[in-house]
Amino acid sequence: MKKHQFSIAASCLLSLFAASAAAAPYLDQPPPSNEPALFAPGIVSDGLPNRDMAITPDGKEIYWSSNLRDFGISVILVSREVDGAWTEPEVAPFSRDPTMVYYEPHVAPDGERFFFVAQKAGQEANDIWVMDREGKSWGEARRMDAPINSDGKEYYPSLTRDGTMYLTREDGEPGTEAIYRSRLVNGKYSEPERLPEQVNSGRSRFNAFVDPDERFIVVPVLGGADSAGAIDYYVVFRNAADEWSQPVNLGSKINTPGHREWTPYVSPDGKYFFFMSTRAPAAPDAPQDGYSRAYLEQVHAGAENGNSDIYWIDASVIWELKPEGF
C-alpha cells in the first residue's frame, strides 16, 4: 500500500471511530413516538421532583431543575456530552448557593445567553437572571434590570430568535398570573406588554414556551373552558400579522385529570415536546405478605411516584392542532 493510500485509510478509520464514540442525543435515550414517554428514567426522572427543560442548540448540554421542601431547596442540574459520553448529572456551578433557589432555565436560540429564575431562599420576590456564553462555560450571573424585572414577580423566560422575551408576571389578584412579551429594540428590552385573551385564557396562565420563530406558544392554563382538570397545556398559534388563534387544549395524551402540568418546552431541533406532569400510574406490585417499609421506599425512590416528572413526545402533537390561517 502506498503511503498516501495508508493515510487515507487511517483517516477513514479514525472518522469511523469518532462517529462510534459520539454519544447519542438526548442522554442516549430512544426517541419517543406519538405517545408520551418518561424522559431519561433514573437520570432525569429519578423520583425527585423534577421540572423545566433547557437544551443548548448543539444538543450537548441538557439542563433541568429539581425542587425540594416546597422550593426551600431548588437547583438547576446539568449533564454534558464530553468525549463521546454524557456526564453524570450535577448541580450546575452557578446554582450551588444554598441561600438562593434556582429554577426555570432557558437557553437563547443562538446559544449565547442562559436565563433562569432565582430568589433568596424563604423570600417571595423572584427575578430573571442571565449569563453570557464564555467559551465552553457561562459567565457571571447577573440580575436583569427593568423593565424585565419589576417590584413584582417574574417567571419563565422564553426567547425567540430575534431576542423577544416572553415571561410570566403577576396579574391583578394574588396568585393570578399572565403572559407578557418584551421586544428587544436596539439592544434594550421594551416595557413588557400583556398578550391578548387568546394567550391569557382561563383564570390564570403562566410558564409559557414560545416557538423560536414565534409561530406558536404553549401555555399552562388554570381554569380552561375544556380543561381535563386542574392545570392543562394549551397551544395558541400566531401568524405574520401578529394575530393569535383561539387556544387549543393539547388533549388527553398530554393533559390528565387532577394532575399538574405546568412547564412546557420544545427541543431546539423542533422534534420533541417536553412537559412536566405529576401523573402516577400503578405502583409496583405489592408483596403478597402485605406492605412493608422497604416497599414504600422502593416506590418513593422511583419515578412516577406523584412528584413532578419530565415526559417527552413527538412535537407533531402540537402541529396537528394548527388551524387554517396560521
Taking the mean position of all CA atoms in its chain, how far away is CA 303? Answer: 18
The C-alpha cell that represents 283 in the structure block: 405502583
Look up residue 94 and give its DSSP letter: G
The larger pLDDT score, comparing residue 222 to residue 124, is at 222
Q: Is 302 exposed, middle or buried (0-12, 13-18, 19+ CB in 10 A)?
A: middle
**Domain containing residue 209: CATH number:** 2.120.10.30
**Number of domains the chain contains:** 1
The larger pLDDT score, comparing residue 45 to residue 20, is at 45
Question: pLDDT at position 297, please?
Answer: 85
Q: How far apart are the C-alpha atoms of 283 and 305, rounded to whole Å?
A: 8
Tell me whether residue 7 is in a domain.
no
Question: pLDDT at position 15, please?
Answer: 42
Question: pLDDT at position 207, please?
Answer: 98
Tell me whether residue 237 is in a domain.
yes
Domain that holds residue 247: 24-281+289-319
pLDDT above 90 coverage of the chain, percent: 75
Least confident of 4-13, 145-154, 257-266: 4-13
Tell me whether residue 11 is in a domain.
no
Q: Confirm if 246 and 198 have CB atoms less than 8 A apart.
A: yes
Tell me whether residue 9 is in a domain.
no
pLDDT tens digits, 132-154: 999 999 999 999 999 999 999 99
pLDDT tens digits, 196-247: 999 999 999 999 999 999 999 999 999 998 988 889 999 999 999 999 999 9
Task: Please report which residue ranges of the chain form alpha helices under DSSP H.
Answer: 3-21, 25-28, 293-301, 316-319
Tell me whether residue 203 is in a domain.
yes
Residues paired with residue 231 on neighbouring β-strands, in sequence order: 222
Tell me whether residue 294 is in a domain.
yes
Residues contacting 316, CB < 8 A, separation 6+ = 34
Tell me whether residue 4 is in a domain.
no
Q: Does 38 score more than 70 pLDDT?
A: yes
Q: Does 322 score more than 60 pLDDT?
A: yes
Tell me whether residue 78 is in a domain.
yes
DSSP secondary structure string for all residues of 277-294 = E----PPPPPPTT---HH
